[in-house]
Amino acid sequence: MKALVSAFLFLALLCSVSSATGPDICLICKSTNCSKTIIGGCMPGTRNKICYSKIIDVPWKSGNKVQKIFNQLGCMSAEYCRPFKNTATLPDGGYIYMEVKCCNKVLCNKAISVPAQENRPLNGLVCPGCLTYIPNANQSCSSNTIVNCHGRENKCISYTGRLKIRGQYYSPLSFKGCATKNLCDLLTGATEEGSDLLQPSDTTEAECSPAEYPDEEEPSPEQ
């Protein structure tokens, strides 16, 4: 009987905290895969509350470590939650995946799963590709392959410098490949959207150009 009463009270609580001003309870987590979450409330004074999910996946080296995935779940004001999905495809299995989701129901925010690269749809566009770790941030890598673009990736990115991901600096690197326009804008400094997940640093080169359909005479691009 006590268990039934407790369940009823919990359901009543969930119903009561979801109002016109948004949910008061969201899943909270900051970790690699958010396998363990807690139920938490929004900060006092938050208006027009909304639950959010964020992820960044960049499987590159940072010193002697390889930072793989960082998930974040929480609550914020709806005016600051802007959903987006930014991606880049690089040679040798390298990629960047960033995504933000917003939802306005109690406990609606779940950890975001990164799709396997081989399952992402190709769009027919290609870009020059290279990926090199460098002792300093002023040596651009030379394109030595062609990369197939996926999804909404319609830009060719060329970047040399460092990347700051969730407060951690990566080793200097240089890369070329496919990217979405918003990711290009972030790396070239045209926008700050997504800068809480990824920031360019010590940049010596950041250029974007339109991706193109391959010439029939060119060698087949790598998958």
Q: Does 175 score more than 60 pLDDT?
A: yes
| Structural domain boundaries, residue 90 | 21-103
pLDDT value, residue 11 = 39
Nearest to 53 by CA among 96, 112, 97, 105: 112
Q: Is 42 within a domain?
A: yes
Higher pLDDT, 14 or 202: 202
Helix (H, G, I), strand (E, B) or coil at 117: helix
Q: Is 11 within a domain?
A: no
pLDDT value, residue 46 = 74
pLDDT value, residue 60 = 64
Q: Does 169 score more than 60 pLDDT?
A: yes
Taking only the tens place, the pLDDT of each residue in 13-72 is 444 444 445 677 899 998 777 878 889 888 776 778 899 999 999 876 555 556 568 889
The CATH number assigned to the domain holding 199 equals 2.10.60
Q: Is 109 within a domain?
A: no
pLDDT value, residue 19 = 46
Taking only the tens place, the pLDDT of each residue in 65-124 is 565 688 899 999 888 899 999 999 999 888 999 999 999 999 999 999 888 888 899 999
Count structural domains, the chain: 2
Q: Is 221 within a domain?
A: no
Question: Could you tell me if 96 and 147 lie in one domain?
Answer: no
Question: Could you tell me if 179 and 129 lie in one domain?
Answer: yes
Question: Could you tell me if 195 and 132 lie in one domain?
Answer: yes
**Over the range 40-75, which residues count as b (16 or more CB within 10 Å of their CB) and which as e?**
eebeeebeebbbbbbbbbbebeeeeeebebbbbbbb
Q: Is 157 within a domain?
A: yes
Segment 172-190 mean pLDDT:
94
Question: Could you tell me if 97 and 160 lie in one domain?
Answer: no
For residues 131, 135, 138, 140, the Cα torsion angle rounded to the nearest 10 degrees is -20
Q: Is 4 within a domain?
A: no
CA 148 to chain centre: 20
pLDDT value, residue 64 = 52
Question: Could you tell me if 53 and 129 lie in one domain?
Answer: no
Q: Does 205 score more than 50 pLDDT?
A: yes
pLDDT-based confidence at residue 8 (cuts at 50, 70, 90): very low
Question: Could you tell me if 128 and 206 lie in one domain?
Answer: yes
Q: Is 145 within a domain?
A: yes
